[in-house]
Chains A and B, each alone.
Chain A
Amino acid sequence: RKEVEQDPGPFNVPEGATVAFNCTYSNSASQSFFWYRQDCRKEPKLLMSVYSSGNEDGRFTAQLNRASQYISLLIRDSKLSDSATYLCVVNTNAGKSTFGDGTTLTVKP
């Protein structure tokens, strides 16, 4: 079993739709959590950190459930430009970052 697991998708949604991605992690000692987006053949770009209280940045909402060891990302009012692969990242205190394999989103007109 992988340390960080994501549904690979692809998720194909129309513009304006709401879409949610989940990510589960196995290391209960994990300390910090992030979502990144990666466009085809580009480097990952930080989308947002994920806090225990949940956090929102415009159309994006991230939540963390430590008891169940999962994090989520909700995208509202999807835009064509949201089409990308979304990677969840889990860090431990030991300086190790573990990425999921990503969930691919395609937003269609």
Chain B
Amino acid sequence: ETGVTQSPTHLIKTRGQQVTLRCSSQSGHNTVSWYQQALGQGPQFIFQYYREEENGRGNFPPRFSGLQFPNYSSELNVNALELNDSALYLCASSFTSGRSYEQYFGPGTRLTVT
């Protein structure tokens, strides 16, 4: 087990609604990254938080936003849900040191938008 937890495990929402997903990072880690994984594809990078600041962002619209808290846990918020937001949302925690870091994933939240 990686020690990274996510909640909830499954979620069903309606188009246009808003959703908040949560992630608790592994003890000692200071960085959290969020990914969206559609069926048959690799995880797509949404953004990364390092010491409570956004540290990098992928090609996702502003309705995807996030937070990192002083204990390094994190939230992913998605507004105005669209049908193609249905996916597995993964968070990964890591310890950023120098240029290389290994990421450890939580079990994911499976979001279905109807």
List residues of chain A with CB within 8 A of the CB of B107.
42-43
| A109–B87 alpha-carbon span in the complex (Å) | 33
B56 touches A32 (CB 8 A): no
Closest Cβ–Cβ distance, residue B56 to chain A (whole Å): 3
> Hey, which chain B residues are within 8 Å of A16, CB to CB?
none
A72 proximal to B (CB < 8 A): no
- A31-B105 contact, Cβ under 8 Å, with A94-B56, A100-B42, A101-B41: no
What per-residue 1/0 map shows which CB atoms of B37-61 lie under 8 Å from chain A?
Answer: 0001111110010100001111000
Q: State A95–B99 Cα separation when bound (angstroms).
A: 9
Contacts of B57 on A, CB cut-off 8 Å?
96
Are the C-beta atoms of A31 and B99 separated by less than 8 Å?
yes
CB distance from A97 to the nearest CB of B (A): 5
Given contacts A91-B100, A93-B99, contact A99 B105 (CB under 8 A): no
A43 in contact with B108 given A98-B45, A100-B42 (CB within 8 Å) = yes
B105 & A44 in contact (Cβ 8 Å cutoff) = yes
Number of residues in B with C-beta < 8 Å to the partner? 28
B81 interfacial contact with A, CB 8 Å: no
Given contacts A43-B108, A44-B90, A94-B56, is CB(A32)–CB(B40) below 8 Å?
no
For A97, the closest partner residue in chain B by CB is: B45
A22 beta carbon closer than 8 Å to chain B = no
Residue of B whose beta carbon sits closest to that of A6: B42
B103 within 8 A of A: yes
**9 closest Cβ pairs, A-B complex:** A95-B56, A99-B42, A32-B100, A95-B55, A43-B105, A101-B42, A96-B56, A95-B48, A31-B99
B residues adjacent to A (C-beta < 8 A): 2, 31, 33, 35, 40-45, 48, 50, 55-58, 90, 96, 99-108
Tell me the A residues contacting B by CB distance below 8 Å. Answer: 4, 31-32, 34, 42-46, 49, 87, 89, 91, 93-102
14 additional contacts, CB 8 Å, given A94-B56, A95-B96, A96-B58? A31-B99, A31-B100, A34-B103, A43-B90, A49-B100, A91-B101, A93-B99, A94-B55, A96-B57, A97-B33, A97-B45, A97-B48, A97-B103, A102-B42
